[in-house]
Amino acid sequence: MQPAKEIEQQLIDADLDICIEGLNFTYKGTKNPVLDSMSIDIKGPQLVSILGPNGAGKSTLIHCMNKILEPTGGTVMVNGMDVKEISIKNMAKISSYVPYTSTDSFPLTVTDTILMGRHPHAKWGTLKEDLEIVHESLKLLDIEDLADSMFNELSAGQHQKVMLARGFAQEPRILLLDEPTSNLDIKYQLEITRILRRMSREKNVLVVMISHDINIAAKYSDNIIVLHNHGIFSFGKPEDVITADMLKNVYGVDVEIMMDNGKPHIILCDETGCAPLCAESCVTIPGTSDTKHSE
Ligand SMILES: Nc1ncnc2c1ncn2[C@@H]1O[C@H](COP(=O)(O)OP(=O)(O)O)[C@@H](O)[C@H]1O
Ligand SMILES: [Mg+2]
C-alpha cells in the first residue's frame, strides 16, 4: 500500500479536479436515490456554484465530494484519486468543508475556533505561523474586531463568517461550502462571494459553493451546476445555464432574463406578466426566450 505521506504529496501536487462518474447515492432505509447516475468533471481553480430547488440533493452531492458520505454507486475522484483511497486526514489537508449554518457552538473565543481549522496541519512549534494565518483569515472577512469574542455569543451572520474564516485557515486547495451566504445581508453576500472568487484566482483554489441566490451566482461564478430530478440539469457558464427555460423547468417559476455586462440577471414575473420595468424596456434576444434591456 502507498504510504499516506506519498498520497498526501500526490494530492497536493496534482491538478485540481473533482471528477464524478455514474454517482449514485441512496440514504439508508430509503428506496429512491437522491443522486442517480450523475457524472461531472470540475477542473482547475475556479468558482463553481451549485443551484437547484430544496431537496434536489445539493448538500448530498457536496458530502459525497468530501467523503462525509460514501457513494452507493459510481466513483468520486479528487485530484486524480478515488476518495475511497484518501484518508480523512489527507482529505482535510487538501479540502475544507464549511457546512450549512452549523449548529456548532463552542464556548471558545473566535481566534481559538478559527485555530481549529489549522488542525490538519498541526505540527510542533508552528503556533506563531498558525496564529498569523488565523489573523489573515479574520482580516479577509473583516472580522478582526471579533477576535476575542466568544463564538457562542455571536449573531447568525457573524457565526457564519467565523465558520468561513475557519475554512480559509485550513488553507485548502478545494473549498466546499454549503450555502455560505444564507445568513448574511446583501452587502455581505456580495462581499463573501467576491472574496470566494478572488480566492479561486489569487490562491488557486477550486471553490464549490451551494447557493440560492441565482443573480449573485450568475454574476460571479465561472461555472454553474444546476441539479434537478436526481441528476445534473445543466453545467456550464452562467450565460448558458441561467435561462428562462431552466428556471421554468427546474424551479417552476416564470422569469425574464436581462443581460447585465454579459451576465444573466433574472427578473421575476407574476401572474399578470413580467415586472413593468422589464416588460417596457427589455427586448427578446432573437432565437431565444431570453431578453435584454433595449438601448
Ligand atoms: N439523512 C438523511 N436520511 C434520509 N433522507 C435524507 C437525509 N438527508 C437528506 N435526505 C433527503 O435527500 C434529499 C436531498 O437532500 P439534500 O441533499 O439535503 O438536498 P438540498 O441540499 O438540495 O436541499 C431530500 O429529499 C432529503 O429529504
Ligand atoms: Mg442543502
Section 101-118 average pLDDT: 84
pLDDT in tens, 223-274: 999 999 999 999 999 999 999 999 999 999 999 999 999 999 999 987 776 6
CA-CA-CA-CA torsion sign (70, 238, 167, 126): positive
**Which listed ligand is nearest to 225 at the C-alpha?**
1
Contact between residue 95 and residue 172 where contact means Cβ atoms under 8 Å apart? yes
Section 71-80 average pLDDT: 96
Looking at residue 281, its pLDDT comes to 52
Distance CA 188, CA 141 (A): 9
Residue 33 Cβ inside 6 Å of ligand 1? The answer reads no
Section 94-123 average pLDDT: 84
Looking at residue 287, its pLDDT comes to 56
Q: How far is the CA of 79 from the centre of ligand 2 (A)?
A: 24
Residue 55 Cβ inside 6 Å of ligand 1? The answer reads yes
Length of the chain: 295
**Whose C-alpha lies nearest to ligand 1, atom 27?**
55
CA-CA-CA-CA torsion sign (38, 196, 190, 261): negative
Residue 59 Cβ inside 6 Å of ligand 1? The answer reads yes
Tell me the helix, strand and coil percentages in the chain, rounded to 5. 40, 30, 35
**Whose C-alpha lies nearest to ligand 1, atom 10?**
27
User: In terms of CATH architecture, what is 4-252?
Assistant: 3-Layer(aba) Sandwich (3.40)
Cite the residue boundaries of each domain of the chain with CATH code 3.40.50.300. Answer: 4-252
* Closest C-alpha among 268, 236, 152, 201 to residue 47: 201
Q: How far is the CA of 266 from the centre of ligand 1 (A)?
A: 27
pLDDT in tens, 272-295: 766 555 545 555 555 555 555 444
| Total-model pTM | 0.90
Section 151-164 average pLDDT: 90
Residue 229 Cβ inside 6 Å of ligand 1? The answer reads no
CA angle 62, 68, 72 (to 5 degrees): 85
Lowest average pLDDT, out of 105-114, 189-198, 206-215, goes to 105-114
Where residue 22 falls (left for φ over 0; alpha for ψ -120 to 50; beta otherwise) is left
Q: How far is the CA of 117 from the centre of ligand 1 (A)?
A: 26
